[in-house]
Amino acid sequence: MEKLIITCCVTGAEVTKEHNPAVPYTPEEIARSSYEAYRAGASIIHLHVRKDDGTPTQDKEVYSKNIELIREKCPDVIIQVSTGGAVGMSDEERAQPLKLNPEMASLDCGTCNFGNDVFRNTPETMEFFAKEMKKRGIKPEFEVFERGWIENAKKLAEKGLVDEPMHFDFIMGAPGTMPGGIKDLIYMMESIPSGSTWTVGGIGKHQLPMAVAAIMLGGHVRVGLEDNIYYKKGVLAESNAQLVERVVRIAREFDREIATPDEARRILGMKR
Ligand code: KMH
Ligand code: ZN
């Protein structure tokens, strides 16, 4: 098996310090938390940013400041900006961090219920993000909340809007979307085009079982406070690094070595 790529989703747009005080908001907090996760073994930081009061934002200048501080501490880590942003944001608003030409970005390829909201990604939205990423040489990570979203991503490839190999992130167990069972994960991994890579992010209680399954099945792992604020039932995670450290320990038990950022680039078919 390839070495294991660990993505850390350090803050997201939904969780707050009221849920877990370790959720980082300011550029300094996000950079520190990213650095700790990187030191623990994360080679990709999935990056949302916040205003200092915790409000999610896609503001280009705020992204720029966050990226600058992360880069100071982790010169080689892969920074994957979010184009999902928060529910209700416009496409233009969500696309702002792409203007900074990051190495990688998330591309949500479908619409779903999302808790009590609807996370809207129309075909037009998906094509807009795909074109923008292709134009700028940004590697997309296709976020998949439902099985049909893989078909939407394949359509983008058929239209020549994305380059292969494609990289998918299965988000499993988010309220309103596909569940986080092993059978669901196997169905997903068997549905992507051959030669593609995949990672999985389990939401809440699904984070640990999905991570262990991915380690065994040859996929990659996403963990972090965006997806899960607990270490175990009733016990809050102390930090993003703590969640990454656990994955590293388990991977070692299965003889899967941890990929450095440059090894992750090679596995994902990216140029530095
Ligand atoms: N915050 C969610 C609505 C992404 O980063 O691309 C979308 C999300 C996915 O987190
Ligand atoms: Zn996200």
Q: What is the pLDDT of residue 185?
A: 98
Residue 195 lies in a domain: yes
**Nearest-5° Cα angle at 229, 228 to 230:** 95
Contact assessment for residue 16 and residue 23, using Cβ atoms and an 8 Å cutoff:
yes
Model confidence at 244, pLDDT cuts 50, 70, 90, reads very high
CB of 119 closer than 6 angstroms to any ligand 1 atom: yes
- Mutate which of 82, 87, 169, 171 for ligand 1? The one with the most ligand atoms within 8 Å of its CB, which is 82
Which token pair is 151?
């078909």
Residue 213 lies in a domain: yes
Residue 103 lies in a domain: yes
CB of 106 closer than 6 angstroms to any ligand 1 atom: yes
pTM for this one?
0.98
Please tell me the distance between residue 33's alpha carbon and the centre of ligand 2 in angstroms: 16
Residue range(s) defining the domain that contains residue 120: 6-268
Sign of CA pseudo-dihedral 264, 217, 249, 6: positive
Residue 1 lies in a domain: no
Give mean pLDDT, residues 71-86: 98
Please tell me the distance between residue 107's alpha carbon and the centre of ligand 1 in angstroms: 9
What spatial distance separates the first Cα and last Cα of the chain, rounded to whole Å?
23
CATH number, position 132: 3.20.20.70
Q: Is the pLDDT of residue 271 over 90?
A: no
CB of 132 closer than 6 angstroms to any ligand 1 atom: no
pLDDT digits (tens, 9 = 90+) for 196-213: 999 999 999 999 999 999
Q: What is the pLDDT of residue 13?
A: 98
Residue 164 and residue 130: Cα distance in Å, rounded?
Answer: 13
Whether cis (ω within 30° of 0) applies to the bond prior to 179 is no
Residue 10 lies in a domain: yes
Q: Which atom of ligand 1 is nearest to the CA of 107?
A: 6
In the chain, how long is the greatest CA-to-CA distance? 47
Q: How many domains does the chain have?
A: 1
Residue 102 lies in a domain: yes
